[in-house]
Amino acid sequence: MSQNHYNNLIKAHTLAKKKFGSTFPNPVVGCIIVKKNRIISTGVTGNQGRPHAEEIALKKAGDKAKGATMYVTLEPCFHKSINGSCTEQILRSGIKAIYIARHDPDIRTNKKSINKLKKNELEVHVGETAHITNHLNNFFFKSLKNKRPFVKVKMAISEDEKIAWSNYKSKWISNSKSRNYGHKIRFNSQAILTTSKTIIKDNPRFTVRKNNKIIKHLTTIIIDNSLKIPLGSKLLKDINKKRVIIFTSKKNNKSKFLKKIGCEVFFVNKQVNNQLNLKTIFKKIYDLKINDILVEAGGIFLSNLLKNDLVDEIHLFKAPVIIGSSGKPFLIGKKLKNIKYKEVLTKNFDHDIYQYLKI
């Protein structure tokens, strides 16, 4: 592949990266159309995943697309839609060559588009810069493979790996710069998963804020075995601005009221240990077309997730404070060193240390 073709794929990736976090549940895809060494059109996946990048770029290009070359960061779709699949639209447009970063493992497409484009005598190149697509849309590929959401955990801990004092009076352990970065992680997530215990202790709103202003309301999923969530919670006051999903074993007047005010309530039978089956819950979350979640909860819940092999990434903010043996632990019965992980990134926010870990 020439440097020119490589550079055009990188430009398509750059477009995609700028919109990451707004196309869930779909992957974010970038597309550019080039003719006579000049970019004549660009496209990026629309909000909530539609329209697709190729469709946008082709519509902008119009008749100019005939004889042009397309560069796209993921295999065009083979699905049926109002205007036909992206593959059909590409064939109708007269595009003569296409460079595709990587194939789409979605069973609806999975190399079907690549094969059809080749059979229709387009010049097709696949695989260059695939690693960039893999990194950016890792949530999509892993959720598709595991049939459950991609799970990130965000947590602030002390130097001795505690998340709070014994009386839970510590609202924040990390500093303001760490918390600002934490909001960026929230922004790039489809939903937040928490527990009723966290809501009772912290009464969070789980909004995304920038300069103390709310810029995004995230779907919030609550694991609430005995339906203890207070009806006066800040979270429920925002019910008209976000999707709130509750998993519980309790079917009573409170559950009826929560449904009435707009919550989605799903009932799950308790296991022998009196807990809800997390794998069953995660399968249901995936069926609800939520394939990327950020967990913000306590050490007991994190330990249960790890025990059930339900964690893909951990984002840790370690502050230079010692809480002591009476504090609430980050993990139950073990330390960070006991977990198998790959450290992807470490950086400092003043005296806080941020670690991005892949499990």
Query: For 227-249, how does the pLDDT look when each residue is reduced to its tens digit (9 = 90+)?
Result: 999 999 999 998 999 999 999 99
Instruction: Check: CB of residue 100 under 8 Å from CB of residue 72.
Output: yes
Q: pLDDT of 148-165, one tens digit each? A: 999 999 999 999 999 988
At 80, the pLDDT band (50, 70, 90 cuts) reads confident
Rounded to whole angstroms, the Cα distance separating 221 from 196 reads 10
Beta bridge partners of 311: none
Q: Please give the average per-residue pLDDT across 218-222, as a whole number.
A: 96
| Annotated catalytic residue 313 | no
- Predicted confidence (pLDDT) at residue 97 exceeds the cutoff of 70: yes
Which range among 143-147, 198-202, 337-341 shows the weakest confidence by mean pLDDT? 337-341
Q: Please give the average per-residue pLDDT across 99-112, as a whole number.
A: 96
Q: pLDDT of 59-79, one tens digit each? A: 999 999 999 999 999 999 998
> What pTM, to 2 d.p., does this model score?
0.92
C-alpha separations of 128 from 69, 90, 119, 268 in Å: 15, 20, 21, 45
Mean pLDDT (the chain) is 94
pLDDT of the residue at 73? 98
Beta-sheet pairing, 244-248 with 264-267: parallel
Rounded to whole angstroms, the Cα distance separating 228 from 47 reads 34
Query: Of 54, 55, 296, 313, which residue is the catalytic one?
Result: 54
- Predicted confidence (pLDDT) at residue 82 exceeds the cutoff of 80: no
pLDDT of the residue at 171? 67
